Structure formats: C-alpha cells, structure tokens
Structure 1
Amino acid sequence: MIRAVIYCRCSTEEESQKNALEKQVAEAESSVRQYGWVLVDRYVESRSGTTAKGRNEYKRLFNDLLTDKFDVIVIKSQDRLMRNTKDWYLFVDRLCTEQKKLYMYIENKFYSTDDALITGIKAILAEEYSRELSKKINNAHRNRQRDGGNVMLPGNAYGFKRMPDKSVALVEKEAEIKREMYRLCAAGYGTRTISTIMRNRGIVNRDGKPFTSSYILRMLRNPINKGTAVMGKYHFDFDSKRTIKNPKEKIYIHEDKVPRTVSDELWNAANEQIDKRSVKTKDGEDDIGKNPGKYQPSGKIVCGMCGQPYWRKVHRKHSNHELIYTWACSSYLELGRSDNLRARPNLRKVFLENEKGCDNINIAENEFYAVLEEICSNQYQKNKKKIIEKIMKLLSKSLNNQDGTKEIEKLEREQEDIERKMKFLVDKLIDGVLTDQMYKTKQEELEKKRDQNKKKILELTERTSNTQNIKDRLQEIETRLNDDDLFKKATIDDMLEEVDKIVVYPRYMEIYFSLSSVTGCMDLKIFDGDKKCFRVDYGNRLDYKGRQCDAREVVVDLIRENPRITGKMIAKEIGCSLSGANYKLKVLKKEGRIRFNGAGGKGCWEILE
C-alpha cells in the first residue's frame, strides 16, 4: 500500500478566516482516497508565509522527508508549498534524494525531474508575485499611517479591545490596573517592585500569568496609553525577511487616536521616574535590556541556590557617577530577597507573599574577571611564547607575500629583453627582411607587453615602499602581544569559550568545562571527581554585602579593644573615609549591637552582644 501525507496552507490570513483551509484539507483527503492510498499524517499550516520561517508544519514535513514515514506528498499546487525559489529547490533536492513523490491534485500530476525548469520558473514567478504584493501592502500601510487611519493594535493588547468598526475602545477594568501601575511608578516605585505589588494582589495578565517587570516597562513607555498613536516605526523588508526600524522622518505621530488610559501629566511623571533610573550609553539609548546576550558570560553564570541565570545590570556610583557593572540572580532581580531585611528599600514595603526571591550574592564584574584571571594564571595557562611565535610567523609570511622586490627585478629584466627585441625589429626592417605590415604587427605586440610590465612595476614599487612601515607595525604588534594585561584578557575570553556553565554560591563557584574542547588546562587533576568541574573558593571577595559585614566585625573588635575609639581613628585603622567609618557605626547602632554612652563626643562605646 502506498502511504500518503497531505500538506495544506492558507495563502492569506483572510482566506483562512473564510474556511478555505478546511476545504483544502477535504480536497486533499479526497485525492488520497481516490487513488486508494493510505493517509498516514496531515500537515496543516494555518499561518501564511513566503518562506519556511515560522511554519512549523512545513518544517516537520521537511524533516520527515528523511524518514520512511510516507511515499507520497499531496498538495494543492506548487505555490501552496512555498513562494520562495531557494526553499523550493531545497525541498525538491531532498524529495528526489529520498525518492519520495509529490502529487499536485489541481494539475492532476506528479512532480518529475523533467519539470525542473518549468517548476523553477513557477517558483520565481510566485516569489515575484509575493514581492509585488508585499510592496502594495507596505504602501497601503504607509498611506494609512501618514493619513492617520485606523490604529492596528494586536488582538491581546492589554487594556484595549477592537470594535467591529475597527475603532479601539478601553477595557475599563484593565485600564484601571494600568493607571495604578502608572501611579506607583510616578510615586518612585521601580517596575520590579510594581510587578511584586501586582503579584501580591493576585493581578495577572490575559494569559493568567503575573506581569513581568519588562512587560510593565514596555507598557509604561508606550504613548498609546495617553492616546497617542506612533505609526510606521517598523516595516517588513521582503528581501531580507526582517522587520526593520524606520528612520524618524518615516514615523507618523497622531494625537488622540485612541481613548486615553491616563492623563498626559501622569504619563510624563511616570516616564520621568523611569528616565532617572535608566543608565544612558554613549549613543544616548537606555542600556537596560539592550541585547542581553552580547556579553561573553551571558547564559553561562547560573545561581547555585535557585538555579536561575545571572543577568548583567548597570548603575552609577553616587559619589562620582562612575558606571558600575554587576551580575545578579534573575530571581533576586524579579522577586527581591527571601530575607525581607536584605530586600531593596521599596520591596521591603511590599514584600512578596507566598513566594520567595533569592539570597545569593551579586557579583561585581571587575572582581569576577579578577578571579578568572587568577584561574587562568594558575590552572589554565597557555604557552604564551609559542602562541606569539605562531602569530608573528603568520604575519611575517603575509609581509613577505607583499614584498615585490624579486618580482620587480624579474619584470625589469623582461623590459630590457623587450627593448632589445624592438631594436632588433628595426634592424630587420632596414635590412628588408621584414615587410612594413609584419614589422607593425610585431611592434604593437611588444609595445603592449612593455606597457603592461611598466604598470605592474609601478604597482609593485608602491606596495614595496610600504614594507618598512609594515615591519614597524609588526614590531608594534609583537610588543602589544607581549603585554601581560592584553594576553590575560585574551586567555580569559578563550577560557570562557570552553566553559559550559559557572555555578555561583555565596562563598565559592563551580566552573564546568566541556572536556572535549578543553585545550589549555595544565593539570586535569583540578577537576572535582566525576563532576567535570573545579571549585574556586573566594569567601567574601565577590560579596559586597559580606565584605561590609566583615568590615563591621572589625569595627566591633576595635571597639572591644578601645571603647573610647573615635570615627577618625576607626577610619585610619581600616583604611576608609571618615564618612565610611561613621556609616559603619550607624549601621551597628541600628542593628542594636553597639551604643554610645555619653554626649558631645565625650564618653565611650558599649558592645551590646
């Protein structure tokens, strides 16, 4: 029995809404029954598209071509399979290689290799049709956006609903929740704290899931909530198959296009608070949430306490506005600390009920790289001398290839030979050995070759004149390569390439390598048994809070030794500023561990433990 499968796809979203897809499935199944084949599977795609991207059923069919699941694929027509020339040829190549058949019931015929030319032309025409259709649709959208036509909101846009006449109306219950978010933000609460408040109140989105901080941030930033529609911000490029951001001159802003959720004053107040919190990059864009995977440790640092990934965050130092980069557990960033006393100030007010955050440490990026640098120095060393020798050998080879001295000498010898031949031709012409025509033809050949050689000599001379500059540059490169800091950074990057994950705990980390790719470990005994990892103990080195606690313990010991010690004396002993010493004393007093008996700077400290 011949085993058959059917593949059906709608050509447009509108057609899908008219039940044409169900009709197409029925027609395909009817063709299978007509030939007495056995229907073993259905690949039904409700999504339209010109390429294979996003079409899961087509991808499943394409992968199943490699199996012995079926013998025949039944489709309506070639354009229902795809309207992309490249994808068509990839599909046909796999179809023929795996000796499967393709039946198109509209034409009542099987695909044959003899049809390769005509089907290829059809694929090109189908793709061109889709390209023209895309241009028309994009042009219609631009005209609608320029003229301030109907606002096209996604069907699940929270707080709004689309009416039958294509207008937009508020969902009052959801709109009030958004207003509360704006009010909290304007009052100084961050999006993570607002997310926590919503969780405590049992407020969820339309999917029944809690509002995430990133979703809340996007919603608060969206001017649609103050009635302003921003149109034409993005467009779909048919050739690159990507959504591209339009320049400012192609973006249209229309005021009061939808009902207002919040007033201009409230929207501005909330966004001013967000602006205060955001850290700007050199380009003036918010750095928060931009391309989270661009840092090498991204996705590799994992919390040992809750198993969630660590995220990179940035903030400014209060004293000098210096940028500080840290890595923190995503559970902590979303939910705060499980210990309410250690939570962020706003989260202490709205501590999350029935759900705990994470108490793992935040890692200062510079300290993290310092630890990795020590690992590279002690346990992951590369042969620096051999690496530099290899690099310089390759660069020198490239330099020698650019040195055209020998080639110039060869061409100059050829030029001398050409001049001799041209003089010889003149002698033969005078002697009457050559006719005028023979002389002219040979003379033109020699002149052409002479001019070509002259041009080559000029090019090689210009290139060779830069040789000394290149040699100086090579010397500079070798000096840079011998720079320890540069080499250490390169070694750290190389090690991170071979790391599967780094599991962080408050006092130590476990570094897991992919042993098949490790080439730089000097001693494999560093690995901990069958774990294929090694452990790095760092105590409080990466834990700022822990270091602060240790520093306060030192202050307690100093008070124990000298109850009359002053803040200035403490600052000198522990190597910090006077304000830093006074702050540590303030924290210890707040914790109820010490108190000062006296007034006006006269008296002594008492330890209350």
Structure 2
Amino acid sequence: MRAVIYCRCSTEEECQRDALIRQAAEARECVRRLNWSLEDEYIESRSGTSTRGREQYQRLFADLLRDRFEIVVIKSQDRLMRNTRDWYIFIDRLVTSGKQLYLYLENRFYNKDDALITGIKAILAEEYSRELSRKINNAHRNRQKTGSALMLTSNTYGFRKMPDKSLVLVEEEAAVKRKMYELCAAGLGSRRISRILLEEGIRKRNGNPFSDSDIRRMIRNPINKGTVVMNRKHYDFDTRKTVKNPEEQFFIYEKCIPAIVPEELWEAANREIDRRRNIPEERENVEYGRNKGKYTLSGKLVCGLCGAPFYRTTRRRKKDLVHEWKCRTYLEQGRKKEGRTGGCENIHLKEPVLFSVLENMDLEEHVFFAEANSSLRLSAESGSSLSEPALIEAFVQIMKECLEEQEKSARKNLEQTEKKIKHQQRLLLDKYLEGIIEEPVFREKQYELQRKLEKRIQKPVERAEKHGQNLVQNNGVPDRPGQIRQFLEQDHSISKACTLCLLEEIEKIRVYPDRLELVQKGGKSIIAVKISHMLY
C-alpha cells in the first residue's frame, strides 16, 4: 500500500517546530510499522484554522485526484483543519477518489459511518478556535485601550524594544529616517530618495535597499513624530481576514515614545506626498499600500533575475499611449552595470503583445488552468472540441435558449394579463346592465381598462423596435443571438475570457530575458513559454 503523511503544528514558535519534527517522525514510524510504502511527505509549520495559504495542504488536496497513493496518514483530525466546511470538502474528495485516511493517534482508519462524529468534532474544534480568537482580540483591545503596552514589533526601523517593553531610538537608523523626511519635504519623490540612499550605501537591516514603497510607508507613519495609533485593525475569524476598524475606534497616544522628527517636518513631508499624488482633502486619511489589483496582471509578473515585481508604466509615443511592464528594481535603480551595485538588466514587456501570447496558447493543452470554469470542464469531459468557434457556438446556443425561454414567459404573462382585463370588462358590463353602476362610471372604467389592455399589448412591439427587430419575421424572438455571435467573433472575446480564466489559475509569471515561466497556484511550475524581441 502506498501512503503519504501530512503534518502541521498549530503555531510557529520554536517549541512547536520541535513538536512538528517529532510529529513527522511519528508518522514515518507509523508507515514503517504497518509495512506501507512512503511515497511523499506534506509538512508545513503554517498555523491557521482554515486551509487558506497552506501550500502543502493544497498540494495534498490536489494529489487526491491523482494515482500516487492510497492512504493519507495524519496524527488527528484537527491537524488537517479546524473548519467544518473545509473538513467536509476534504472528506468528500477523499471518498470519491477512493483514498483512505489513517489517524495514527487513534490507530484506525476513517470510516464513512464516522461522518456524524467527525462532523461534531470539526464543529467543536472550530468553535474552540473562534472562542480563542475572540479572547485574544479582546485582550489586545484592552491593552491598547489602557495604553499599558505599546503594540509595536521588535523590528520597527529606528527603534529598539527593550526587555521592559520600552522603546529607545537607534540613532544611526533615526538619522536615516530624518534624511528621508528632509528630502521628501524638499520636493524629491520616493524613488529618487531610494536611489540617493542606495548610492550612499544605506540599506535596511536585512541588507536590501529601501524601496519606494518602504520610504512612503515610513514617512506616513505617525510613530516617527512620537504618536502611536493602535487598534487600527483586527482579525475577523469568520471571514479569515484582517479588517480595518473605523477611525472612531482608534486609540491615539501622542508623545508617548521618543520622536525621530519634529511634528512640523512630519507634516511638511506628508503634505508633499499628498501634493505629488494629487489627493483631495477628503481622501487624505485613505490608507495606501500594496496594489490591490488595479490591472489584470498586477501582482502576477515577477522578475526572474532579482525577484522584484513588475510594475505597469505608461508613456506617450506620438498620439498613442504605450503600456509596458517593467521590473521594480530597474525603475528604482536603473540598469545593472559593472562596478555598480543594484539595478536589473531584465527586459520590458509590452502589454498588448503579452496578452496576445497568452491568448494564443493552445486551449486543449492548458485546459487544466481553467478547471474552475464549469463550461470548459464539461466540454473537456464530454470530449467536445475546445476550439474558439465551438465555444462561441455553444455560448450562442445557450443565449438563444435563454432568450426563447424569456420570450415564452413574457407571452404567457401577456396572455394572462389580457385574459384578466377582459374578465374585468365583462364584470363591469354585467354590473352596468343590472343597473348597479351609473353610465358615467361605466364609461370611465371601461376606458381605463381598454387603455391598460392596449398598453400591455404594445410593450413587446416597442421592445422589438428598440432592438431593431421584427417579431413577426423572427417568430417572436429577436435575432440577438446573431448579434452576440458577431460581437464574439469580431472582438475575440472567447480568447480573452480564456486568458482571464488562465490567469486566475496562475499564481506567478516569472519573467526572464528569453522566456516566461507560468507557475500554477501551489508553487508548481507548469510551462515555460519562449518569447521574442516582439515582447519588449
């Protein structure tokens, strides 16, 4: 029997890392004792109650669909996750793929009859984690509210945290920060400041140069003028996200730590940043940081030479705008040259040509990138062609059926309304003939009902005229499927949609001078695409 082991500890403390080593040794011993063949190991020290961000678990979850092993060995149920939904999703894939789960702490296999008990255990584990998160958040908030402990990390540049949790200035680093503020207040941008610091040999504690985003973040931080702002964010257990608190819940303590720069210099530097970014006054308090995805390729293109991200730039060429992606190191430090530290010699990518390369990739060869797309997956399972004309035809057919169904429903609704109005007219006439209502009332109501009937009948005709169609010639259905087909064929929308689907399954695209490496989510390299000078 082929087996794999999965091990995970709950925290990343040193003692827990030792526990993870022991846990992995116990799992290997269990496999050896039961005479199974150990095919792979999935070991990670990432904490967390859900499966998000756990690369080894994601790799195991994907390998359940492959014929690589028959048994998954774990210590206990909560080593996989403490989330009820994720537990049931894992068990569903485990059972449908014909694999087994062995819990060596209980010395038994998971059985389908255990679904109720294990479900209850998952609920209890999740509730335990939720209660623990609530207590931790409350404890943090109380400490921040009373100001008894400043919630600052030990590697805050310019400060050193003492054993009694007080902060003292690191004068050498504080001088670097003062220089940043002075240069910014004098009108220099963050990239220019970064180059000046690099030319003077000034680097961060880890030896890397200061990036433009590092400099902007430091200048924006009020801690440098002696003000500490706490309770800005909190961790939401249910959404698994760090949520920003409203400003009225902030705890602001002024002049509670040594100031690196005077408040006047801090204000001047921040005003200069606002001026350069052209930020209106009502947006001065907006928090800026990592690009949240303004462009489709944001956060995906990475330099294969230096590891820095690629940024989108725009330049004007005659009357046209040219969009290119360039390495951040190049933008900050220029080209790498002999006798000069820093810089990057990687290529620039023209955005339209890059998208053209991705669109022209063979859909059938790379359909696994679009596994989340149900229509592509169904087409692959049924053996039908995944060519662009076939996808266009399938999409148009679906739209045609939807439009026909919509038109049938509209006609049925119209018939029911017409029948109801005519019934009301007959009742009105009977009451008039019986002398129950007077003639003026009868004529007024009769006119009102007739107008309502004509208005209901006129609506489909107006809708057809609006779309430039003839309902009679098209059997009551406008030729909108033909318009959709024409639009898809002219604009290559299917290729663009497949490219977007492809990008959703790609975690990174590593850029080298001669090739692009597409890396699937989970860290596994999928394909290398050779590129020509047309890209740059």
Tell me which interval the TM-score lies in, with the shorter structure as reference length: 0.5 to 0.7
Aligned position for 2:137: 138
CA RMSD, 1 decimal: 5.4
Aligned position for 1:234: 233
Structure 1 length as normaliser, TM-score? Answer: 0.55
1:498–1:11: structure 2 CA closer, same or farther, 3 Å change rule? Answer: closer
Shift of 1:310: 5.7
CA distance in 2, matches of 1:88, 1:473: 50
Confirm or deny: 8 A CA contact 2:76 2:103 kept in the other structure. yes
Shift of 1:112: 0.8
Identical counterparts, % of pairs: 49
What CA deviation, in whole Å up to 9, does each residue of 1:379-429 have, x standing for no partner? Answer: xxxxxxxxxxx999988985774463311244568899999xxxxxxxxxx
Shift of 1:257: 3.9
Aligned position for 2:483: none
Aligned position for 1:163: 162
- 1:4-43 aligned at under 5 Å gives the runs 4-13=3-12, 16-17=15-16, 19-43=18-42
1:98–1:167: structure 2 CA closer, same or farther, 3 Å change rule? Answer: farther
Report whether the alignment pairs 1:311 with 2:308.
Answer: no
User: Which of the two has higher C-alpha Rg?
Assistant: 1
Confirm or deny: 8 A CA contact 2:130 2:237 kept in the other structure. yes
What CA deviation, in whole Å up to 9, does each residue of 1:79-109 have, x standing for no partner? Answer: 1111111211122122223333222222222
What CA deviation, in whole Å up to 9, does each residue of 1:263-321 have, x standing for no partner? Answer: 22222221121122112269636798784633468799999xxx99562579xxxxxxx
Confirm or deny: 8 A CA contact 1:279 1:287 kept in the other structure. no
Aligned position for 2:374: none
2:416 to 402, 407, 417: 407
Q: Which residue identity is paired with 1:153?
A: L
CA distance in 1, matches of 2:217, 2:7: 37
Higher mean C-alpha displacement, 46-55 vs 3-12: 3-12
What CA deviation, in whole Å up to 9, does each residue of 1:139-172 have, x standing for no partner? Answer: 2222222222423334543333443344444333
Q: Which residue identity is paired with 2:294?
A: K
Q: Which residue identity is paired with 1:87?
A: D
CA distance in 2, matches of 1:330, 1:103: 49
Shift of 1:37: 3.8
Aligned position for 1:581: none
Higher mean C-alpha displacement, 325-334 vs 146-155: 325-334
CA distance in 2, matches of 1:46, 1:411: 69
Match of 2:283, SS state, is coil
Match of 2:42, SS state, is strand
Higher mean C-alpha displacement, 92-101 vs 216-225: 92-101
Shift of 1:209: 2.0
Aligned position for 1:293: 293
Aligned position for 2:216: 217
Segments of 5+ residues of structure 1 without an aligned counterpart are 315-324, 339-351, 369-389, 420-460, 482-486, 501-530, 537-609
Confirm or deny: 8 A CA contact 2:5 2:40 kept in the other structure. yes
Shift of 1:11: 2.3
CA distance in 2, matches of 1:80, 1:69: 22
Aligned position for 1:251: 250
What CA deviation, in whole Å up to 9, does each residue of 1:38-57 have, x standing for no partner? Answer: 44443322121111112122
Confirm or deny: 8 A CA contact 1:76 1:105 kept in the other structure. yes
CA distance in 2, matches of 1:29, 1:204: 44
Shift of 1:197: 0.7
Q: Which residue identity is paired with 1:44?
A: I
CA distance in 2, matches of 1:391, 1:39: 51
Q: Which residue identity is paired with 1:334?
A: L
CA distance in 2, matches of 1:327, 1:281: 27
Confirm or deny: 8 A CA contact 1:308 1:329 kept in the other structure. no
How many residue pairs are counted as aligned between the two chains? Answer: 420
Report whether the alignment pairs 1:60 with 2:59.
Answer: yes
CA distance in 1, matches of 2:175, 2:454: 75
CA distance in 1, matches of 2:302, 2:25: 51
CA distance in 2, matches of 1:146, 1:299: 36
Higher mean C-alpha displacement, 13-22 vs 402-411: 13-22
Structure 2 length as normaliser, TM-score? Answer: 0.62
1:56–1:336: structure 2 CA closer, same or farther, 3 Å change rule? Answer: closer
Shift of 1:240: 1.6
Shift of 1:245: 1.6
Q: Which residue identity is paired with 2:331?
A: E
1:334 to 318, 331, 336: 331
1:476–1:273: structure 2 CA closer, same or farther, 3 Å change rule? Answer: farther
Q: Which residue identity is paired with 1:102?
A: L
Q: Which residue identity is paired with 2:293?
A: G
Report whether the alignment pairs 1:101 with 2:100.
Answer: yes
Aligned position for 2:527: none
1:463–1:73: structure 2 CA closer, same or farther, 3 Å change rule? Answer: farther
Confirm or deny: 8 A CA contact 2:49 2:83 kept in the other structure. yes
CA distance in 1, matches of 2:76, 2:213: 44
Aligned position for 1:197: 196
Confirm or deny: 8 A CA contact 1:229 1:253 kept in the other structure. yes
Shift of 1:133: 1.7
Aligned position for 2:365: none
Confirm or deny: 8 A CA contact 2:159 2:170 kept in the other structure. yes
CA distance in 1, matches of 2:462, 2:289: 43
Which protein, 1 or 2, shows the higher relative CO under an 8 Å CA cutoff with sep ≥ 6?
A: 2
CA distance in 1, matches of 2:460, 2:333: 56
1:395–1:302: structure 2 CA closer, same or farther, 3 Å change rule? Answer: farther
Match of 2:57, SS state, is helix
Match of 1:262, SS state, is coil
Shift of 1:253: 1.4
Aligned position for 2:48: 49
Higher mean C-alpha displacement, 58-67 vs 238-247: 58-67
CA distance in 1, matches of 2:399, 2:61: 45
